[in-house]
Amino acid sequence: MKTLILGGTREAREIADIASGERGFDIVSSLAGRVRDPLLPVGAVRVGGFGGVDGLREWLSANEIDTVVDATHPFADLISAHAAAAATDLGLPLVHLRRPGWTAQHGDRWLRVPDLAAAAKTVGELGERVFLTIGRQGVGAFAGLTEPWFLIRAIDPPEGALPPRHELLLARGPFTVEDESRLLADRRIDVLVTKDSGGDQTDAKLAAARAAGLPVVMIDRPALPAGAVVMENVAQVWDWLRSAAQ
């Protein structure tokens, strides 16, 4: 059975890792090609956009794909929508892997907002020194904020306009709570902005913010396409793949 894994996440690499050791599974992982030095999954990998729904549909047909796993990041909503449309057109089974979002704990001071624009509107009211941990994409939504100072952390430098008062910190997680607490104190951070990515690779900043009593602007996830089949962990997707192969 030939499977396309739309990747760019740890879970996508884990599925490729499991399936590549199993007879009867032919896996191709796909990366958008955004990160300069990506962590590569085992097995076959293709890199770069497909060219919208039409391009993806053509690629799926030309490569005789039987099943599709959308294991992209919860905020990569465009490729998820394209995958849903192309799979529906071709009648291919598709599952979306979405790790659960984060849940506020006792002591958290979270303000949930629907999107980046709402986060940019809110953040200036919460403090003057902002830790922006939304990755490389979307920083432009904060570019018009001239008053607050931003610590912008990303794996690769963001492109496009940035807020005028900022420091850019290039780093790849996971980070420890101790590291995050030190960073918050060193940079005298007042407020943290994050996407609700979920998972345990980047949640230390939330524990550090909780310990420091800092507010967190939590950007909600975009919705998946209507009717999407959603699974929340690698084990569930692997079971699904095995039954699809029978």
Q: Which residues bind ligand NAP (CB under 6 A)?
A: 6-9, 30-32, 34, 49-52, 55-56, 72-73, 75-79, 82, 135, 137, 195
CA terminus-to-terminus distance, the chain: 9
Tokens of 242: 């095995």
Burial of 226 (0-12, 13-18, 19+ CB in 10 A): exposed
Residue nearer to ligand NAP on the CB measure, 191 or 197: 197
The minimum distance between CB 85 and ligand NAP, in angstroms, equals 11
Amino acid in the structure at residue 16: A
CB 70, min distance to ligand NAP, A: 8
Of the two residues 12 and 209, which places its CB atom closer to ligand NAP in the complex?
A: 12
Q: In whole angstroms, how close is the CB of 177 to ligand NAP at the nearest point?
A: 21
Residue nearest to ligand NAP (CB): 49
Q: Are 148 and 127 in contact (CB under 8 A)?
A: yes
Smallest gap from Cβ 114 to ligand NAP, in A, equals 15
Residue with tokens 């940079």: 187
- Give the nearer residue to ligand NAP in terms of CB position, either 31 or 241: 31
Task: Please report the sign of the dihedral spanned by the C-alpha atoms of residue 53, residue 59, residue 64, residue 68.
Answer: negative
Written as six digits, the tokens of 76 are 């990569």
CB nearer to ligand NAP: pick between 126 and 154: 154
Q: Which is nearer to ligand NAP, 127 or 158 (CB)?
A: 158
SS3 category, 107? coil
Among 116, 95, 84, which Cα is nearest to 196's? 116
Q: Please, what is the minimum distance in Å from the beta carbon of residue 55 to ligand NAP?
A: 6
CA distance 142 to 163: 6
Radius of gyration of the chain (CA): 19
Whole-number minimum distance, CB 199 to ligand NAP, in Å?
Answer: 10
Taking the least distance from each CB to ligand NAP, the nearer of 47 and 211 is 47
The whole-angstrom separation of Cα 231 and Cα 219 is 21
